[in-house]
Structure 1
Amino acid sequence: MTEFFRIESPSFDPASGEARFPFTLNDLSFTEILTLPQGADAAAAASPNFAKLLGLTALVLGVSYYKLRAPLVIEAPTIPLTAAERAFVIDVYENGLGEFYARNALSRFGKLVLTAPDDTNERQPAMTLPERTLLPIGGGKDSLVSVDLLTHTGQQFTPFAVNPKGPIVTSVDAIGASPVYVTRKLDAEMIRLGQTEGYYNGHVPSTAINSMIASLCAVLFGYNQIALSNERSASEGNVVFDGRETNHQYSKSLGFELLIADTLSNATGGALKYFSLLRPYSEARIASLFTKETKFDSVFSSCNRNFRLNGNDGPLWCGECPKCHFVFLIFAPFMAKDRMLRIFGKNLLDDLANEQSFRELAGLTGQKPWECVGEILEAAACFYTLTRHADWHEAAVVRAVKADLFAQYGEEKLQRAMAECLTDSHDHHIPPALAAKVAAYAV
């Protein structure tokens, strides 16, 4: 039997706010449920724009179920797609699942077949959306820098999150604005099978998933912009597999941003904009901007151990993972040492147990970790700055890597790299008027 994965017809009940997404994988059936806030605009819920977005959301949510067997055939028999939308969906299933394929040694690039009815209407009718911004909050430093930028440029925004918990909730509380929250309930049988022999498991493009869910809320509750907080280093990949670069952060990359922005624009007749507010910046530049505001110091976290499906009751920062190490490294050149130690609880650069992890981040050994961390040269440049920093040059890890860092890169290259980290890029998709205001504040 040829294996297949089918996306069935999704449904939405405006009264309850419940959206249901059924899927079929060979002889298995699953249903995922989203619970959106009540009070959606009735006309928007009945619009062809929302119907289009609901179908596209079903296709993107499907990656979590598809990956159990990763068949070559994907079917969407009741969801009409334009040529551009087909390309978008294939991109999500090829590049969005790139890390999953690489880590499971599965060759899928260029081999997937998507069958769906043709939609010859390349652009949906225009709709009207109020000039408001929906801002996804992840609980980490990036989205909180976006909060600061939007606040100081006078932009009206609403925090948004899917399955909020831990640092997301405490960050939104500190923001002080009423949020839009969505509950996402994955099918329990899918989760069980993912831990069962004979089925695959692995990374999915969560930013793509949450962005599609955000688009549903933008249409139903009236927002004409979704502003992400993805930095320029998210476009750098991890390894080459199956003939192309594989990127843990693919759905945060500029290439994907442009693709999904075009998809959402066409689905709403040009009404809905999608962009990353932090795209001009390196991770180091974002860290420098974060130091302007202190009110989030005790509530934010970029440690992924706080965002597992089963929750986490531990500290905000584990201090052991590559994400903790990277964030500590990029904050160190810009933030007072006593403030750093209050945030992280200890000096992560003074523990030689962390040396291997820091070496991987700076490209001195191994490969770039499968984490949402910045560019290798950027990490090396921050280390270079610390070798000359009064607060950090004597730290055990800084001393341990210094000779190899200089030997591999040379001082001149590291100096140039640090200067480039602090130079803003013009390669972004921010609306021009907003970009000018943000650039003026972020000097």
Structure 2
Amino acid sequence: MSSLSRTSWRRCEELCYEGFRYWLHKNRISVLFSFRLGDSLVFRPRSSFPVAPPLPGKEMLDPLIFSLGLIELVSYWKAACPPRIRIQAGRLSDEQIAWWKRLYFRGLGEFFFRNGLAVTEDEFAEIQASGPRFAPFERRDCTGTLVPVGGGKDSFVTLDLLRAGEAPVTPFLLNSSWEQRSTLSAFGFSLSRTAIAKRTIDPLLLDLNRRGFWNGHTPFSALLAFAALLTAATLGKRWIVLSNEASAEEPTILGSQINHQYSKSFAFERDFASYAARWITPSVGYFSLLRPWNELQIAARFARIPGALGRFRSCSSPGRSWCGRCAKCLFVALILSPFVERRRIEEIFGRELLEDVSLAPFFFSLLGGEKSKPFACVGTLAECRAAAALLARRPAPPLLVRLAKERGLLKAADPSVETLLASWNSDHGLPSEFLPLLDPFGPASFFA
């Protein structure tokens, strides 16, 4: 192993998905995958998921776990980007292979871009899958919702909206964090009422990354989708309810299809829902409750949830407090600014981020002054410019807003905050029974 280095990549001609195993316990299922990169690099990542009586059988678990392995393998493939992916664990039709190839390529768009890899969707890898075939299954007793919970404002808004609905809600956590637990406690959910899955990365991959093998962004929300599907199906839940907004559609690299948030986009949501219903199970639906809304509408609704401002966190840096130095912190401060007092925003981040000149490059990037937006889950250029333009009309605009105005980044033709608050995105997958939860708001009500 000590001789492994970046030059070893050329000898890695394929990643093989060798198989999976699982063990059922009283209330959990443990899963082990096996991936082989080249001749000698073997990865065996583990996961575990909650289950409930009646315990699921092979006809349910095999297609769910096989599919989860197909998205897990991305993390190991990207270490060397071999030209072939060989799947021994199960069989895929040509149509399914095309589906997975599209997900891999688009979900790794940022990874390819930031590592300077010039590849096309047709040529980046060949996929062979000739293992056993797993048939889709149907479960007729599914009811209620499974809600993946992060630690940001979107999860708060989804849980708040679902309180007005009739469907029972079960939160879902993948590797529980402080932010997630803080969100749950705000709505009175105990961990005993929460579905918690655990996922580990094989330490060998982390060692290879330290040695110089490729590393970078993967479509984590796609992995979350398959993990949630496994959990929802085994627990008998009818719906997986996401918290992704209309704003996730906009590319990160302007004028391209490279999108940091691809697996949060409606394109992926629609693809996943169709794939799951056809090839795994039609018993569990998958949609984002917030898809009709943009980031400004979500921020406005979030600001009205009692106690939420003191509990949420979606910073790009680890830890319990906001770092106040990253693009995500700056974006959240900006998008909340039309609806939250300046003093309160300063309390959240520990200082006035919009007065920090060192954050100017991030700010200009959020407003479209650079060739790309920040590689983070942030809103559209129009939403950021609208929030900045609103601040520019106030008696004492923050420093970053004044600098953006001087650079001509705030244009009169841009839609206003009021216009964006009155918008409705019709490209969504909400079932009819959930639509009334997003009661229409006029712009004035968001400023109440």
Q: TM-score, normalised by structure 2?
A: 0.89
**Structure 1 contact 88–260 (Cα < 8 Å) conserved:** no
Residue by residue over 1:24-81, the C-alpha shift from the partner in whole angstroms, topping out at 9 and shown as x without a partner, is 1012101010022354532xx2142331121110010111111110112001123122
Deviations 1:349-408 (A, max 9, x none): 122222221111111234211111111122111111111135xx432222222232xx34
Aligned partner of 1:188 in structure 2 is 203
How many aligned positions are there? 425
Aligned to 2:6: none
Summarize the alignment of residues 3-402 of structure 1 with structure 2, pairs less than 5 Å apart. 3-15=13-25, 17-26=29-38, 27-37=40-50, 39=52, 41-42=54-55, 45-109=56-120, 110-111=122-123, 112-117=125-130, 124-177=136-189, 178-197=193-212, 199-239=213-253, 245-306=257-318, 312=319, 315-389=320-394, 393-402=396-405
Corresponding letter in the other structure for 2:315: C
Moved over 6 A (4+): 118-121
Q: In structure 2, how many angstroms separate the alpha carbons of the residues matched to 1:12 and 1:55? A: 11
Unaligned runs of 5+ in 1: 307-311
CA distance in 2, matches of 1:283, 1:24: 41
Q: Which runs of 5+ in 2 are unaligned?
A: 1-10
Q: Distance in 2 between matches of 1:180 and 1:195?
A: 33
Counterpart of 1:420 in structure 2 is: 420
Q: Which amino acid aligns with 2:252?
A: N
Q: Deviations over 1:288-319 (max 9, x none)?
A: 1101202222221010213xxxxx3xx52111
Change in CA separation of 1:437 and 1:166 when aligned onto 2, cut-off 3 Å:
closer
**240 and 410 in structure 1: CA distance in 2 versus 1, 3 angstrom threshold:** closer
Alpha-carbon distance in structure 1 between the residues aligned to 2:68 and 2:281: 17
What's the C-alpha RMSD, in Å, of the aligned pairs?
Answer: 2.2
Structure 2: how far apart are the matches of 1:79 and 1:434?
A: 36
State the shift of 1:264 in Å. Answer: 1.5
How much has 1:129 moved relative to structure 2? 4.0
Equivalent position of 2:3 in the other structure: none
Q: Is the 8 A contact 2:43 2:202 kept in 1?
A: yes
Per-residue CA deviations over 1:85-136 (Å, capped at 9, x if unaligned) read 3233112211111111111122332112110138888x72432242211101
Contact 1:34–1:184 under 8 Å retained in 2: yes
Q: Are the aligned partners of 1:378 and 1:421 in contact in 2 as well (CA < 8 Å)? A: no
Question: Take 2:404 and 2:441, find their aligned partners in 1: how far apart are those partners?
Answer: 36
Aligned-pair identity (%):
30
Q: Is the 8 A contact 2:367 2:409 kept in 1?
A: no
Residues 248, 39 of structure 1: alpha-carbon distance in 2 compared, 3 angstrom cutoff: same
Deviation string 1:392-432 (CA, Å, 9 cap, x unpaired) is x432222222232xx345313243x7613541211101112
Compute the displacement of 1:278 (Å).
Answer: 0.9
Distance 2:438 2:397 in 1: 37
Q: Secondary structure at the match of 2:317?
A: helix
DSSP-derived class of the 1:239 partner: coil
Check the 8 A contact 2:392/2:402 in 1, yes or no: yes
Could you tell me how far apart the structure 1 residues matched to 2:441 and 2:228 are?
Answer: 27
Q: How far, CA to CA, are the matches of 1:237 and 1:188 in structure 2?
A: 32
Deviates more, 1:419-428 or 1:225-234: 419-428
